[in-house]
Amino acid sequence: MKRILITGVNGFVGPHLVSELKKNDYYIIGVGGKLGSEFPVEEIDEYFVLDLMKKNILKNIDLSKLDGIIHLAGLAAVGPSFVDPMKYINTNIGLEVNIFEACIKQKVRPKIVIVSSGSIYSSKNKMPINENSHISPTSPYAVSKTAQEIMASYYENLGFDVVIARPFNHIGPGQGLGFIVPDLAKQIIDFSNGNVDKVIVGNLDSQRDYTDVRDISKAYRLLYEKGKSGEVYNICSGSAISGNKILNDLMKIKGIRAEVKLDESKLRPSDNPIIVGDYSKIMKDTGWQPEISIEQTLKDILS
DSSP codes joined into one string, 146-177:
HHHHHHHHHHHHTT--EEEEEE-EEE-TTPPS
What is the rounded distance in angstroms from the CA atom of residue 106 to the CA atom of residue 84?
34
Residue closest to 210 by CA, chosen among 188, 240, 231, 180: 240
What is the rounded distance in angstroms from the CA atom of residue 112 to the CA atom of residue 67?
9
| pLDDT (mean) for 199-210 | 93
Neighbours of 44 (CB within 10 A): 21
Question: At residue 270, does pLDDT exceed 60?
Answer: no
Residue closest to 89 by CA, chosen among 39, 154, 137: 137
Residue closest to 211 by CA, chosen among 175, 177, 178: 175
Q: Before 137, cis peptide (omega within 30)?
A: no
Q: Are 189 and 254 in contact (CB under 8 A)?
A: yes
| pLDDT (mean) for 3-29 | 96
Q: Give strand pairing partners of 29.
A: 5, 46
Question: At residue 219, does pLDDT exceed 90?
Answer: yes
Distances (CA, A) of 106 to 60, 156, 158, 297: 10, 17, 14, 41
Looking at domain 2-172+209-238+277-292, which of 3.40.190.10, 1.10.10.10, 3.40.50.2300, 3.40.50.720 is its CATH number? 3.40.50.720
In this prediction, residue 265 carries a pLDDT of: 74
The answer to whether the pTM exceeds 0.85 is yes
In this prediction, residue 271 carries a pLDDT of: 62
DSSP 135: B
Beta strand 260-262 pairing with 210-212: unpaired
Model confidence at 269, pLDDT cuts 50, 70, 90, reads low
Beta strand 241-242 pairing with 207-208: antiparallel
Out of 71-85, 123-137, 176-190, 252-266, least confident range: 252-266
Query: Dihedrals φ, ψ of 32, to 5°?
Result: 175, -160
Average pLDDT value for the chain:
94
Of the chain, the percentage scoring pLDDT greater than 70 comes to 98
In this prediction, residue 42 carries a pLDDT of: 81
Helical segments of the chain, H only: 14-23, 79-83, 85-105, 140-157, 180-192, 213-226, 243-254, 280-286, 294-302
Residue 107 is which amino acid? K
| pLDDT (mean) for 160-187 | 96
In this prediction, residue 268 carries a pLDDT of: 63
- 229 in helix, strand or coil? coil
